[in-house]
Amino acid sequence: MVRSAVQTRRRILDAAYGLFYRKGFSRVGVDSIAAAAGITKRTLYDHFTSKDELLGAVLEFHHQLALARVQDWGSRLTGDLDNLLDSLFAELAQWAAKPGWVGAGFTRLTMELADLPGHPARAIASRHKAEVEAWLARELARRGVARAEVCARQIAILLEGSMVLILVHGNRQIATSAAQAAKQLVRRGSAKNALRRQRA
């Protein structure tokens, strides 16, 4: 019975994530989620008291999955700083080529809830972005980048901007341009730090 409840909850989370990602939070009703999960609406409410609570659970669950995927990808990545940045943006371009891709779910959701700053889902999205950025900072520091946290924030901005422009223009080559900008940004920062050390 417990196992069945866990499996049902997972089906609900997967169905809700798929619908929220494709259509957005406001355009998806509880009836649609229940139908996609193959359950009744009453069963859905046995697991989640509201659509907002379900959204929070969906984001928390997929935050953990996405972070694990990023860390696993990073652990298999070899090479220098240029390779890291080229691979990072190439991964974005490859992701954007998948059928039905509509950008980063956490970003899209936050934009949809822009007029609700206190919504719990926005806090989860913020934490997700911060943890991915912290992971990137560690990878940069491991490759000898000075002020890695600052560089990670700047690269995160390039990643987010790339996703938006790829959606607007339908051109995945934008990711390649962003990778070049990221490499220039890091080199410029490294050169400035080297000059400061020489003057000190």
DSSP for 161-191 reads HHHHHHHHH--THHHHHHHHHHHHHHHHHHH
pLDDT of 1 reads: 44
Tell me the C-alpha distance between 73 and 105, whole Å: 19
Residue 155 falls inside a structural domain: yes
Q: How many domains does the chain have?
A: 1
Cα angle: 65, vertex 70, 72; to 5 degrees: 90
Residue 50 falls inside a structural domain: no
Residue 15 falls inside a structural domain: no
Q: Where are the alpha helices (DSSP H) in the chain?
A: 2-23, 30-37, 41-47, 51-75, 81-96, 105-112, 120-142, 148-169, 173-199
| CA 19 vs CA 2, 10, 31, 171: distances in Å | 26, 14, 12, 25
Residue 11 falls inside a structural domain: no
pLDDT of 197 reads: 54
pLDDT of 179 reads: 97
Mean pLDDT by 10 residues, the chain (200 residues): 80 95 93 97 96 94 92 87 95 95 91 90 94 96 92 97 96 97 87 53
Residue 135 falls inside a structural domain: yes
Print the domain residue range for 139: 80-199
Count of beta carbons in the 10 Å neighbourhood of residue 192: 12
- C-beta separation of 146 from 189 below 8 A: yes
pLDDT of 90 reads: 96
Quote the distance between the C-alpha of residue 142 and its chain's center.
Answer: 22
Residue 167 falls inside a structural domain: yes
